[in-house]
Amino acid sequence: MTPVLEMRDVTVTLPRGGRDVAVLEHFNLTIAAGEMLALVGESGSGKSVAALSILRLLPAGARITGEILLGGEVVTEARLRQLRGGVAGMVFQDPLAALNPTRTVGSQIGEAWRVHKGGSRAAAWAKAVALLAEVGIPEAAARAKNFPHQFSGGMRQRVMIAMALACEPKLLIADEPTTGLDPVIARQILGLIARLRREMNLAVLFVTHDLSVVAEQADAVHVLYAGRSVEWGRAADFFAQPRHPYGEALRGAVAWLGQGRLANIPGQLPEPEARPPGCRFAPRCAYVQAACEKAYPPPVEAGTIVACLYPLRDVPRAAAVVVESVAKTFAPLLEVRNLSVRYGKAVVVADVSLRIGQGECLGVVGESGSGKSTLGRAILQMLPYAGEVVLQGQALTARHRARRQIQVVFQDPRESLNPGLRIGEVIAEPLRLAGVARGAALAQAEALLGDVGLSAALMDLYPGGVSGGQAQRVAIARALAGGPALLVLDEPTSALDVSTQALLLNLLRELARKRGLSCLLISHDLAVVSFLADRIAVLREGRIIEAGATAALLAGPREDYTRQLIEAAPRLQL
């Protein structure tokens, strides 16, 4: 049987700084009907380029060499319009941006149908309504008349899927379709794709940076690193034992539920201009040998197929760590009493009371819109609220100096660091505010940079000149500078790649242990929260519906909603 998608020796170059730079090299891929292949890699790996090259949706100036076959037919410029949507449909990451804001979803889905099948507008509309119902949108006939902004994130992605599948293509190319969605919603979208795959015998190319998303459903895995394939094969083989050191590191870096330790991948992805001549992972590899740096290693079969001179053998698995079930006790630090926040008439946080002890980390989980970030901001005294926030026996107000005792790290480090200040100045600023002399403040800033694992060379750089992971560590150093009593971490890792996230989570855990740091960790990702938090509070619609020690909560949730969150969290089944 001919495979649905075949890519042979595909190389893609993109113009960068006036030169064509290869972002994907000698890439081979085959997907059969009904098969789901997960194309995995971190940002800069070339995975999205590979996905976009199939239907030639790359930005202007991109050059593709090699052969791409869809349903046995070579993709050519002349046949492109028939193939797009007809043989392969595409779903993108950010459905709000990917849908035209000024047209109803019904007309946009109908358009996908009419482009290929013709027919009247009325027939296309009827088809669109049927498709919306098919992807699980209630009251499809009425909802078809709505515009994209009137849907929730998950519903929008369903609309995208309905559009991609309007003409019953053989292949669905999904480029990070669940990134940015809440875990529970993401799981529903994955479930939908799985059902459609069964019903339509659909081949699925699932592009993602997050292994945990595809662990349960992918038949095959293909790992890309810096534009080259490093490991590929059956998903079961891969998850049982990755053979490439990068594959192994990637699996270890994902925060799976109940994970005791996260693997660090030191260093950074090389820029396309500065790639090492041999194995691209060599500079970061823990097992590197001299031969690795000479040439790209020829792929060998070793369970999976792996482009490595020294594929990993079976590593004896360490016995599962017994989670200490003894509840630790903490001296009281922060107490929040009956805190409520309203935006206009809407109650965003309703009557929340919680305590954080000295040296304790409290995790707050909830989906977007649950009020978790608002709660954090109220505790930081950044917005008006009703109720009381008591820190070390002292009730805080917005004008209180003691509010400096609570510091914050936000989700997007690039947005939250002043781009016009050097990193040294960013970190020294809280100290300068506290009256420390400039020289002393800068010296302390340098020490803090060391504490978060960054070199002092970064002191004179601007935030724009460092990577996202480094910028987030700078943000942590800045938050630590004033010696705060409490750190509020608002989704500190969700804008980062898996390996960077692992690095940061390990760093936070280490800091918490060493410095006896107390923190309020806000996240939608239960796996991340359970990794750091001593206790977890589940927030839903502004209320804490359940709280308890981490291990106890994960083992025996009382509420259905908590159970759903736990089910949606990534889990490595071996």
How far apart are the C-alpha atoms of 118 and 111, rounded to whole Å?
Answer: 9
Whether the Cβ atoms of residue 444 and residue 493 lie closer than 8 Å to each other: no
Least distance to other proteins from the beta carbon of 353, Å?
Answer: 34
Task: Pick from 4, 23, 75, 90 the residue near other proteins by CB under 8 A.
Answer: 90
In the complex, minimum distance from the CB of residue 99 to other proteins, in angstroms, rounded to a whole number:
6
Distance (Å, rounded) from C-alpha 328 to C-alpha 318?
26
Residue entry with tokens 């078809």? 144
Q: Which of 81, 195, 198, 558 touches other proteins (CB under 8 A)?
A: 81
* DSSP letter assigned to residue 28: E
Identify the residue among 6, 14, 64, 84 touching other proteins (CB under 8 A).
84
Nearer to other proteins, 149 or 514 (CB): 149
**Measured from the CB of residue 124, what is the shortest distance to other proteins in angstroms?**
12
CB 265 within 8 A of CB 253: yes
List the interface residues with other proteins, window 40-59 (CB under 8 A).
Answer: 55, 57
Q: Among residues 105 and 218, whose Cβ is nearest to other proteins?
A: 105
Residues in contact with other proteins, counted by CB under 8 A, come to a total of 29
Q: What Å distances lie between residue 301 and 14, 183, 411, CA to CA?
A: 31, 35, 41
Compute the residue count for the chain: 574
Q: In whole angstroms, how far apart are CA 75 and each of 32, 52, 70, 273, 327?
A: 17, 13, 7, 29, 61
Q: With respect to other proteins, which residue has the nearer C-beta, 8 or 81?
A: 81
Q: Which is nearer to other proteins, 165 or 568 (CB)?
A: 165
Q: Find, among 42, 460, 476, the residue nearest to 268 by Cα.
A: 42
Q: Could you tell me the smallest distance in angstroms from the CB atom of residue 147 to other proteins?
A: 4
Site string for other proteins, 518-547 (x = CB under 8 A): ------------------------------
Position among 102, 325, 329, 573 found at the interface with other proteins (CB under 8 A) = 102
Neighbouring residues of 383: CB distance < 8 A, sequence distance ≥ 6: 341, 374, 377
Q: Which residue is associated with the tokens 């046995």?
A: 72
Task: Return the bridge partners of 27, or none.
Answer: 10
- The residue within the footprint of other proteins, chosen from 32, 33, 98, 545 (CB under 8 A), is 98
Candidate list 17, 18, 77, 101; residue touching other proteins; CB under 8 A: 101
Distance of closest approach, residue 217 Cβ to other proteins, in angstroms: 23
Which CB contacts under 8 angstroms, 24+ apart, belong to 397-403? Answer: none
* β-sheet bridge partners, residue 88: 84, 171
160 interacts with other proteins by CB under 8 A: yes
Q: Interface with other proteins by CB under 8 A: which range of 33-41, 107-115, 258-266, 292-300?
A: 107-115
Q: Rule CB under 8 A: choose which of 27, 92, 239, 281 binds other proteins.
A: 92
Q: Which residue number, 3 or 95, has a Cβ lying nearer to other proteins?
A: 95
The torsion region of residue 537 among left (phi > 0), alpha (psi -120 to 50) and beta comes to beta
Report yes or no: 223 and 265 within 8 Å, Cβ to Cβ: no
Smallest distance from other proteins to CB 235, Å: 26
Contacting other proteins within 3-42 (CB under 8 A):
none
User: Which residues sit opposite 65 in a β-bridge?
Assistant: 11
Mapped to the 3 state alphabet, what secondary structure does 5-57 carry? EEEEEEEEEEEECCEEEEEEEEEEEEECCCCEEEEECCCCCCHHHHHHHHCCC
d(CA 255, CA 170): 33
- Which residue of 2, 65, 76, 82 would you call a contact of other proteins, by CB under 8 A? 82
Q: Is 100 in the site for other proteins (CB under 8 A)?
A: yes
Contact of 230 with 238, CB cutoff 8 Å: no
Q: Taking CB under 8 A as the rule, does residue 345 contact other proteins?
A: no
Q: Are 447 and 433 in contact (CB under 8 A)?
A: no
- Quote the least distance from Cβ 67 to other proteins, whole Å: 21
What does the alpha-carbon distance between residue 223 and residue 24 come to, in Å, rounded to a whole number? Answer: 12
Structure-derived torsion over alpha carbons of residues 289, 290, 294, 295, reported in degrees to the nearest 10: -20
Q: Residue 442 Cβ, how far from other proteins at the closest point, in Å?
A: 42
- What SS3 state is found at 369? coil
Q: In the complex with other proteins, which residue's Cβ is closer, 32 or 115?
A: 115
Contact indicator for 186, 178 with CB cutoff of 8 Å: yes
Stretch that binds other proteins, among 157-165, 246-254, 455-463, 544-552 (CB under 8 A): 157-165
By CB under 8 A, name the one of 86, 154, 247, 484 that touches other proteins: 86
Least spacing, CB of residue 398 vs other proteins, in Å = 29
**Nearer to other proteins by C-beta: 3 or 85?**
85
Residue placing its CB nearer to other proteins in the complex, 143 or 228: 143
Candidates 36, 50, 64, 164: give the one binding other proteins (CB under 8 A).
Answer: 164
Within 166-185, which residues bind other proteins (CB under 8 A)? 166
Measure the CA–CA gap between 493 and 569, rounded to whole angstroms: 15
Considering only 69, 123, 141, 147, the residue that binds other proteins (CB under 8 A) is 147
**E-assigned strands of 358-468?**
361-365, 386-391, 394-395, 406-409
Name which position in 11, 43, 69, 94 contacts other proteins (CB under 8 A).
94
Name the minimum Å distance from CB 103 to other proteins: 8
Q: Which stretch binds other proteins (CB under 8 A): 76-84, 216-224, 231-239, 459-467?
A: 76-84
* Residue 390, token pair as written in the block: 């008591």
Per rule CB under 8 A, is residue 103 in the interface with other proteins?
yes
435 binds other proteins (CB under 8 A): no
Burial class (CB within 10 angstroms; exposed 0-12, middle 13-18, buried 19+) of 536: buried
Q: Minimal CA–CA distance to 113: which of 97, 199, 32, 105?
A: 105
Site string for other proteins, 111-140 (x = CB under 8 A): xx--xx------------------------
Residue 27, helix vs strand vs coil: strand
List interacting residues with other proteins (CB under 8 A): 55, 57, 81-86, 89-90, 92, 94, 97-103, 111-112, 115-116, 147, 149, 160, 163-164, 166
